[in-house]
Amino acid sequence: EIKARVVVNSGGLASDRIAALAGMDIDTYRYRLHYCKGEYYRLAAKIQVNHLIYPIPEHSGLGIHLTKDFGGGQRLGPNAYYVDSCDYDMDEKYRHCFYQAARRYLPGLRPGDIRPDYAGIRPKLQGPGEAFRDFVIGEESAKGFPGFINLIGIESPGLTSCLAIGRYVSGIVRELLG
């Protein structure tokens, strides 16, 4: 047993399980996470593109877009599909989908011009076929858990907004500790 005046649950992909360990019914509060995998492919050949390319968004993501990394490399992705566990292996069956999507805006692309790069997992509060649900940031006194602050389901733009989220949560903590 742990006793504290304030607990901040910022457990990322495990934040729903941490809330459950604290005694919250994550199904009643709809805090159960659904893992959505996104994979990226790297352009093996340098293709002359001077800007980022974002096609019209798809149902569960922004579509296969082209971005540049800090090293000057070019990356395609991500795709988006739900998975049951956190498996970061690349699934080669999607290579052709990446190739076809990228050929719409890179007509000179050849199949050998792309290679697997990496995969990530996004914590989504909505499951497959469900309406979008925004992430949870809040103190849970109203649910019977005073001093327990949940940060659940934070995906994009979580990294971009992490400093603002941190300031917001620190304000809640200061208020609770008086």
The 10 Å Cβ neighbour count of residue 34 is 18
- State phi, psi for 96 to the nearest 5 degrees: -65, -35
| pLDDT at position 37 over 80 | yes
The verdict on 55 and 94 lying in the same domain is yes
Round to whole Å and give the CA distance between 101 and 116: 15
Instruction: Give the per-residue pLDDT at 72.
Output: 85
Number of domains the chain is built from: 2
Digit-coded pLDDT (tens) for 134-149:
999 999 999 999 999 9
CA distances from 32 to 25, 43, 169 (A): 9, 36, 21
* Predicted TM-score (pTM) of this structure: 0.88
The verdict on 120 and 38 lying in the same domain is yes
As a whole-number percent, the residues of the chain with pLDDT over 70 amount to 97
Digit-coded pLDDT (tens) for 44-96:
877 778 889 988 876 656 779 999 988 889 999 999 999 999 999 999 999 99
The verdict on 72 and 17 lying in the same domain is no
Task: Look up the domain containing 145 and give its range.
Answer: 7-31+130-177
The verdict on 85 and 15 lying in the same domain is no
